[in-house]
C-alpha cells in the first residue's frame, strides 16, 4: 500500500493533464488535478482532433516516435474509455488526402522510410472517393489509416473515467499562483483554494506552462499560438475522408459535422474569434468543398496552442527543482501525441522501462 501514499499534483486538465492523471491513478497513485477554468475547455476542446501531425514528414524523429505510438494506441484507448464511461470519443478512421503539396516527394520518401501506408494517387481517384472535393487540384497523396477523434467527447470521456478511479480529486476554477518549495524541493502549489501539497508536481498547463514556470525564474519557451476553426453541419455521408490543402483541412465527424481549420496567429492570450479569420476559413472551405458555399456555419471559435520549438514537448524532471515535472509544449499535436506522451511520462515518474527513448523530450538543457 506504499504506492497509495504517494500523491501527485497535476496542474492543467486538458487532454495531457487528464491522461497523465488517469495513467497515474490507474497505477494506484493518489492524484489531485487542478484546472484554472473548466476541464478540457482550452486547446483540447478547440482542436480538430486529427490523429496525425498535419504534415508528419516535416517533423523531427522525436515527434514521429510519439505520433506513431499514439496512432497505434488510439483505437484501443477509445474502446476502453467508451466501455468504462458510455461516452464514445468517436475515434473515426477516414483516411486523409493531401492535395497539391510542394514537398510531395519528401512525403513519399518519409513514408517509405517509416513504413507508413501513404501513397501517391491519381487526382481522379481522390474525386471518386470524395465526390464533393473541389476541382482545382491536380495531385494527391493518401494515407488510409488516419483517424480523427471527437476531442470534446474525448475530454468528457477521460474526465468520467478519471473520476471513477479511487484516490482522484479534481478542482476546477482553481488557478495555480506559484510553487511551494522546501529545502530545494517543490512540494506543492499555491492556489486559489490555498496550498496543495504533493510528493510530485506535474506541470501540464498547455499554453500557460511557460508563465507558471517563469515564477521559478525558468524560461520555458512555450507560448500561446492562436488557432481559429469553423464548423458546418451536413448529411452524415457528405464527406467520406479528411482532406488537406494549402495548410487548411476539412474533418468529417460521424454525424455530418464538418470542421474546417485552422489559423496560426501570435496574439498572446487573446482568443477572440475574428471576422477576418471567419472569412478566410470560409474561403478555404469552399475551395476544398464547393458545396459548403450553400451550408451554414454553425460554430466559430478560437483556442490557444502551446507553441514550442520544433513542436517537441517537454516530458520529464525539471533540473534543479526536485519534485517538479513537465508534460507540456505539444504545440499543434497535443491530441495526436497525448497517449504516448502520458505513457512515457508515467514510465519516467514510476521509474519503469520507457515505451520510447525519452532523451529528446527531457527538459534538462532545453530550458
Q: Report cis status (omega within 30 of 0) of the bond before 256.
A: no
**From the CB of residue 141, how many other CB atoms can be counted at a distance below 10 Å?**
18
Report d(CA 66, CA 320) in Å as an integer.
Answer: 26
Query: What architecture (CATH level 2) is domain 96-144+223-307?
Result: 2-Layer Sandwich (3.30)
**From the CB of residue 74, how many other CB atoms can be counted at a distance below 10 Å?**
22
Nearest by Cα to 176 from 195, 163, 154: 195
Region for residue 105 given its phi and psi (left: phi exceeds 0; alpha: psi -120 to 50; beta: otherwise) = alpha
Q: How do beta strands 176-182 and 92-93 pair?
A: unpaired
Residue intervals in the chain for CATH 3.30.9.10 = 96-144+223-307
Residue 320's Cα: distance from chain center in Å?
Answer: 28
Report d(CA 202, CA 186) in Å as an integer.
Answer: 10
Per-residue pLDDT of the chain (367 residues; tens, 9 = 90+): 344 468 999 999 999 999 999 999 999 999 999 999 999 999 999 999 999 999 999 999 999 999 999 999 999 999 999 999 999 999 999 999 999 999 999 999 999 999 999 999 999 999 999 999 999 999 999 999 999 999 999 999 999 999 999 999 999 999 999 999 999 899 999 998 999 999 999 999 999 999 999 999 999 999 999 999 999 999 999 999 999 999 999 999 999 999 999 999 999 999 999 999 999 999 999 999 999 999 999 999 999 999 999 999 999 999 999 999 999 999 999 999 999 999 999 999 999 999 999 999 999 999 9
Region for residue 260 given its phi and psi (left: phi exceeds 0; alpha: psi -120 to 50; beta: otherwise) = beta
Report d(CA 306, CA 353) in Å as an integer.
Answer: 28
Residue reference for cell 469553423? 230
Residue reference for cell 492524484? 31
Which listed CATH number (3.40.50.1100, 3.40.50.970, 3.50.50.60, 3.40.50.300) goes with 2-48+153-221+310-361? 3.50.50.60
Helix (H) or strand (E) holding 182: strand 176-182
Residue intervals in the chain for CATH 3.50.50.60 = 2-48+153-221+310-361
Grid cell listed for 269: 492570450
Report d(CA 285, CA 294) in Å as an integer.
Answer: 11
Report d(CA 204, CA 13) in Å as an integer.
Answer: 7
Amino acid at each position: 500500500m506504499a504506492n497509495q501514499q504517494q500523491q501527485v499534483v497535476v496542474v492543467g486538465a486538458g487532454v495531457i493533464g487528464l491522461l497523465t492523471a488517469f495513467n497515474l491513478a490507474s497505477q494506484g497513485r493518489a492524484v489531485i488535478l487542478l484546472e484554472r477554468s473548466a476541464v478540457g475547455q482550452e486547446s483540447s476542446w478547440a482542436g480538430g482532433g486529427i490523429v496525425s501531425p498535419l504534415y508528419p514528414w516535416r517533423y523531427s524523429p522525436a515527434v514521429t516516435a510519439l505520433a506513431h505510438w499514439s496512432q497505434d494506441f488510439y483505437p484501443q484507448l477509445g474502446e476502453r474509455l467508451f466501455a468504462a464511461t458510455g461516452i464514445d470519443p468517436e475515434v473515426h478512421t477516414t483516411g486523409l488526402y493531401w492535395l497539391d503539396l510542394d514537398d510531395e516527394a519528401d512525403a513519399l520518401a518519409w513514408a517509405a522510410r517509416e513504413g507508413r501506408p501513404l501513397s501517391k494517387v491519381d487526382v481522379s481517384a481522390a474525386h471518386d472517393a470524395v465526390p464533393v472535393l473541389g476541382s482545382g487540384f491536380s495531385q494527391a497523396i493518401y494515407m488510409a489509416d488516419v483517424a480523427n477523434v471527437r476531442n470534446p467527447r474525448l475530454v468528457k470521456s477521460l474526465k468520467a473515467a478519471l473520476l471513477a478511479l479511487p484516490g482522484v480529486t479534481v478542482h476546477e476554477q482553481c488557478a495555480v499562483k506559484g510553487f511551494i518549495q522546501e529545502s530545494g524541493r517543490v512540494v506543492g502549489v499555491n492556489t486559489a483554494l490555498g496550498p496543495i501539497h504533493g510528493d510530485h508536481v506535474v506541470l501540464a498547463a498547455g499554453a500557460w506552462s511557460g508563465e507558471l514556470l517563469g515564477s521559478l525564474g525558468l524560461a520555458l519557451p512555450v507560448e500561446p499560438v492562436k488557432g481559429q476553426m469553423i464548423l458546418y453541419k451536413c448529411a452524415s455521408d457528405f464527406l467520406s475522408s479528411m482532406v488537406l490543402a494549402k495548410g487548411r483541412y476539412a474533418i468529417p465527424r460521424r454525424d455530418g459535422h464538418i470542421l474546417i481549420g485552422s489559423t496560426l496567429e501570435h496574439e498572446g492570450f487573446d482568443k477572440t474569434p475574428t471576422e477576418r479569420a471567419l472569412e478566410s476559413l470560409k474561403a478555404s472551405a469552399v475551395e476544398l468543398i464547393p458545396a459548403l458555399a450553400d451550408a451554414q456555419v454553425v460554430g466559430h471559435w478560437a483556442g490557444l496552442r502551446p507553441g514550442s520549438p520544433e513542436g517537441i514537448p517537454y516530458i520529464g524532471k525539471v533540473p534543479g527543482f526536485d519534485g517538479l515535472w513537465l508534460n507540456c509544449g505539444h504545440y499543434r499535436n497535443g491530441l495526436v501525441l497525448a497517449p504516448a506522451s502520458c505513457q512515457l511520462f508515467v514510465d519516467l515518474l514510476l521509474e519503469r522501462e520507457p515505451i520510447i527513448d525519452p532523451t529528446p523530450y527531457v527538459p534538462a538543457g532545453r530550458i
